[in-house]
Every structure is written in C-alpha cells, then in structure tokens.
Structure 1
Amino acid sequence: MSQIAYDARSTALLFVDPYNDFLSEGGKVWPFVENIAREVGLLDNLRTINRAVRDAGIQVVYVPHRRWQPGDYRCWCHPSPSQRKIMDGHHFAKGEWGGEWHPDFAPQDGDIVALEHWGSSGFANTDLDFQLKQHRVTHVVIVGLLANTCIEATGRYAMELGYHVTLVKDATAAFRREMMHAAHELNGPTYAHSIVSTAELVEALPKA
C-alpha cells in the first residue's frame, strides 16, 4: 500500500452500481458474483466503507449503470457483449426491484448521483467528471461492481482525466477468481495509484 493522505475536501467515494440485481439475494446477477462476494466479504466491506467515508465527511458519488428499458440497444450498430447480455436479461430494469438501490446503500442527502453510464466507464457520456470538478475532487476511491469491467473502466478513465485513483480490492467482486486477479494484480497496477484493502483504506481516512 502506498501511503496516501486523503483530504475530505478533495476526495470522493465512487460507488458503482449498488443495485439489487448485483448485491441482493434474488438479484439477476447476484448468483454469478455470490461466491467471490462472500469470499472477500463484499457486503460487510461496503457497509464499513460507506459508514467510514461519511463519518470522515467525504463526498459520496453514485455511478449508476443504465437501467434497462424496453428497446435499449436493439437498434444500435455495435452493442457490446455486455450490453447484449443486459438486453437479453433485462438487468437493472427501470421500475423493477432489480434496478433499485440495495437498501443498505441508497443515496443520502448531500450525495451526488451521476448520470447513468451506458457502457463500462462511469465517465463516458455522463456528467461524472463535471460533477467531481465542481466539487474540487482530485482523489477518487472506487468500489462496487464489477471489478474487471465497470470498476476497471471507470478507474482507467479517471486516471486519464488526471484523478488520483484508489481501488479497494475487497470492496468489489467478479464472476471468477481469475477476473479478480487480473483486475487487481495485473491490470490495476498499470493505472491505479493505490490498491488497498478495506481495513487499509479506513485506516488512511481522515478521522471525524
């Protein structure tokens, strides 16, 4: 772990896709991430981080995936393989339980909810960068789902835009261990400035 001092005035937690479909029993994607999620203690770690950053006065920013609606992607020239899966499975459907926030991670007063991203990056075709700059954010801590898709794409894009990027390796999950290994051991070090555990992050946060 690199020794980072997180200033509450310039740090934001990017909470990516905390939907019921991803994080709740009965969610459409939960069965595919459940084994890894339980192995790393995902839900408890997200609860710990959510509480710690709020206690520290750090800005919480929600980075939501597009909530599927009828007709999405069908007339696109080049929907990605992931978008085709969403189109077929109706993941994160708008107006349905699966597309609602997990009850433990719903936005609170003062939180920012960025525009929904269509692909993997929370920055592409959204207002996320604009919102962060308006709040003078320079450091982003990224948690949520999935480690090797939306987390990685959002982190890479953040680095390209000049943000300091922290990944929390046990506050995310993927379909397989190999994907987690690639996200944190192979790919993460090529763009993230810090890769930490939940305990290490909480220790480094400013005290309330």
Structure 2
Amino acid sequence: MTKDYEKNTTGLLLVDPYNDFLSPEGKSFTRAKEVADSVNLFEHLKAILSSVRKVGIQVFFVPHHRSEPDDFQNWKHPTPYQLRTKERQVFAKGTWGGEFHSDFQPQKGDVIIKEHWGSSGFANTDLDHQLKMHGVQKIIVIGMLANTCIEATARFGMELGYHVTLVKDATAAFSKEAMHAAHEINGPTFAHAIRTTKELLALM
C-alpha cells in the first residue's frame, strides 16, 4: 500500500447502491444508463469495492432515505427534487428498489450510515462521527449520482477537513452535461484528487 491511501486512515464511501439506480428494472436505471454504460460504471464499482476490501480499507455504505408515502408532510421547505422522489417512490422502503444491489451487499465489518434526507451523506447523519471514530482522514467517494449525492457528500467532507478523492468513472448521472459539471467544473473546486478507477487501483 502506498502512502496515498493508507488502510488505517482511508475510508471508501459507497453512496446509494440501490436497485433503483443499478438494476435494469430499477426506477431510475434508464435515466442514468447511457452515462453509466459509457464509463463502465458497474464493473468499476465492483473492482473498487473488491480492491479496498482486499487491502483492508474501511467501507461505509452511505444510503439515501428510503421513500415512504407520507414523506415530507408538514415540512416547510421540501425541495421539488425531494417531492418528485416521493411521488415516484424511488428507493421505496420495504421494496426491492429500496434494497442494495446484490453485488453491493454489506459485509461483516462494514459500517452502514444513517440515511440522508437530501444530497449530502454528512448532513443530519452519523457519517462524520463514524469516520472520526474509525480514524479516517481520507475519503474515496463513489456511487450515485455524480452531481447530487456524490458531489454534496464530497464537498461537505472537504469542509469538515477530510482529504477527498472523486472517481469519475465510478459514478454516473442523468446526462453527460451533469457528469461534465461534476468532474470538470465543480469537482476541482473542492476535491483533492479526481481519478479514474485504473489510476486509483494502481495506488492500492
């Protein structure tokens, strides 16, 4: 292991590996399919997860709130995005779509973070506390979607003092423009490293 990603101080954040995103029958799969296919998303996610497990890097599952029919009742400021997610019941609680994909199941020793209501995996969850308790200083952020939960989580992590790595072909978005914005425009303003899967694995 190189000094770039020491196993005792690095954490992998796997964001929203739900069936609704990653399985062909998922509610949001078709919207991201073109971009996901273009970057070979599925194989890259599997390769990274397998590699970090082999070298002993701590894995953190960072899941979005699982939708329920009465979500956001009496909320003062739900966003249009949140309301659309509720209407479509994406990641619905107690359904197949709201389960983690079969290839991305938690294993013994993995940490499952409390569900986030918005985009950031840090806001109103225990992610920061769990990272600190595990001695993590550097975070590698992969999963879905590049310009929403990945960006918000990674940016928040930087603000909290973590070294942040984005992996631009281990995520996807609903358009090429969103991917471009996430990695070419916004990412460089907060991420310490923006790598490909091949580049990341070479450092492990």
TM-score by length of 2: 0.98
Distance in 1 (CA, whole Å) between partners of 2:81 and 2:111 is: 26
Residue 162 of structure 1: how far off its partner (Å)? 0.1
**2:45 aligns to what SS in structure 1?**
helix
Q: Deviations over 1:10-43 (max 9, x none)?
A: 0000000000000001100001000100010000
Structure 1 residue aligned with 2:43: 44
Structure 1 residue aligned with 2:55: 56
Q: Deviations over 1:33-60 (max 9, x none)?
A: 0010001000000010010000110000
Q: Deviations over 1:106-139 (max 9, x none)?
A: 1000000000000000000000000000000000
Distance in 1 (CA, whole Å) between partners of 2:158 and 2:91 is: 27
Distance in 2 (CA, whole Å) between partners of 1:5 and 1:175 is: 31
Percent identical across equivalent pairs?
57
Structure 2 residue aligned with 1:157: 156
Structure 2 residue aligned with 1:22: 21
Task: Supply the AA of the counterpart residue of 2:23.
Answer: S
Residue 74 of structure 1: how far off its partner (Å)? 2.7
Q: Deviations over 1:136-186 (max 9, x none)?
A: 000000000000000000001000000000000000000100000000000
**1:104 aligns to what SS in structure 2?**
coil
Distance in 1 (CA, whole Å) between partners of 2:33 and 2:23 is: 9
Structure 1 residue aligned with 2:87: 88
Task: Supply the AA of the counterpart residue of 1:45.
Answer: H
Gapped regions of structure 1 (runs ≥ 5): none
Residue 69 of structure 1: how far off its partner (Å)? 1.3
Match runs of 1:59-208 below 5 Å: 59-205=58-204
Distance in 2 (CA, whole Å) between partners of 1:177 and 1:73 is: 31
Distance in 1 (CA, whole Å) between partners of 2:121 and 2:54 is: 25
Residue 82 of structure 1: how far off its partner (Å)? 1.5
Distance in 1 (CA, whole Å) between partners of 2:126 and 2:20 is: 24
Task: Supply the AA of the counterpart residue of 2:93.
Answer: K
Residue 83 of structure 1: how far off its partner (Å)? 0.3
Residue 4 of structure 1: how far off its partner (Å)? 6.6
**Does 2:13 match 1:11?**
no
Distance in 1 (CA, whole Å) between partners of 2:8 and 2:41 is: 27
**1:102 aligns to what SS in structure 2?**
coil
| Segments ≥4 residues shifted beyond 6 Å | none
Task: Supply the AA of the counterpart residue of 1:132.
Answer: L
Distance 1:185 1:4, change over 3 A: farther
